[in-house]
Amino acid sequence: MKNRLLAKNSFRFEEATIADIQAAFNDGRLTSFKLVEYYLDQIRTLNPHLNAVIEVNPDALDDAAKADIQRNAQNHLSPLHGIPVLVKDNINTHDKLNTTSGSFALLGSIVPRDAGVIQRLRMAGAIILGKASMSEWDNFRSLGPPQGWSPRGGQGRNPYSMTTNPCGTSSGSAIAVAANLVTVSLASDLVGSITCPAVVNSVVGIKPTVGLASRSGMVPISPRLQTIGPMGRTVADAVALLDVIVGFDPLDSEATNAAKKFIPEGGFHEFLKKDGLKGKRIGILRHPYFDIYPVGSMEAITFAEHFLTMRFKGAILVDNLKMRNAEIMENITANSEVVLLLAEFKLSLNAYLKDLVFSPVRSLADVIAFNKNHSIEEKMEEYGQIIFLASEKTDGIGVAENIALKLMTQFAQEGLEDLMKQNNLDAVLFPNHYASTSMALGAFPIISVPAGYNSNGEPFGISFAGLRGSDAILIEIAYAFEHATHVRNPPQMQV
Report helix, strand or coil for 187: strand
In the chain, % helix, strand, coil (3-state, to 5) comes to: 45, 15, 45
DSSP string for 327-356: HHHT-TTTTSHHHHHHHHHHHHHHHHHHHS
Task: Please give the pLDDT value at position 494.
Answer: 67
DSSP string for 300-327: HHHHHHHHHHHHHTT-EEE-S---TTHH
Report helix, strand or coil for 107: coil
CB 2 within 8 A of CB 41: yes
β-bridge mates for residue 207, sequence order: 446
CB 293 within 8 A of CB 302: no
pLDDT in tens, 407-441: 999 999 999 999 999 999 999 999 999 999 999 99
Task: Quote the CA–CA distance of 206 and 471 in Å, as a whole number.
Answer: 9
Task: Please give the pLDDT value at position 4.
Answer: 45
DSSP string for 139-175: GTS-S-SPTTEETTTEE---TT-TTS---SSSHHHHH
Query: CA 217, 190, 477: angle at the middle one, nearest 5?
Result: 110
Task: Please give the pLDDT value at position 149.
Answer: 97
Q: Which residues contact 211 (CB under 8 A, 6 or more apart)?
A: 227, 252, 255, 256, 257, 258, 259, 260
Radius of gyration of the chain (CA): 21
Domain count, the chain: 1
Torsion angles phi and psi, residue 376, rounded to 5? -70, -50
Task: Please give the pLDDT value at position 374.
Answer: 98
Range of the domain at 1: 1-495
Task: Quote the CA–CA distance of 197 and 170 in Å, as a whole number.
Answer: 6
Report helix, strand or coil for 298: helix
CATH, residue 292: 3.90.1300.10
Task: Please give the pLDDT value at position 73.
Answer: 60
Task: Quote the CA–CA distance of 368 and 344 in Å, as a whole number.
Answer: 17
Q: Which residues contact 63 (CB under 8 A, 6 or more apart)?
A: 36, 57, 127, 128
Candidates 212, 221, 41; CA nearest to 134 is 221
Q: Which residues contact 402 (CB under 8 A, 6 or more apart)?
A: none
pLDDT in tens, the chain (495 residues): 444 444 445 899 999 999 999 999 999 999 999 999 999 999 999 999 999 999 999 999 999 999 999 997 667 789 999 999 999 999 999 999 999 999 999 999 999 999 999 999 999 999 999 999 999 999 999 999 999 999 999 999 999 998 889 998 999 999 999 999 999 999 999 999 999 999 999 999 999 999 999 999 999 999 999 999 999 999 999 999 999 999 999 999 999 999 999 999 999 999 999 999 999 999 999 999 999 999 999 999 999 999 999 999 999 999 999 999 999 999 988 889 999 999 999 999 999 999 999 999 999 999 999 999 999 999 999 999 999 999 999 999 999 999 999 999 999 999 999 999 999 999 999 999 999 999 999 999 999 999 999 999 999 999 999 999 999 999 999 999 999 999 999 999 866
Write out the H or E segment, with its range, that includes residue 462.
strand 459-465
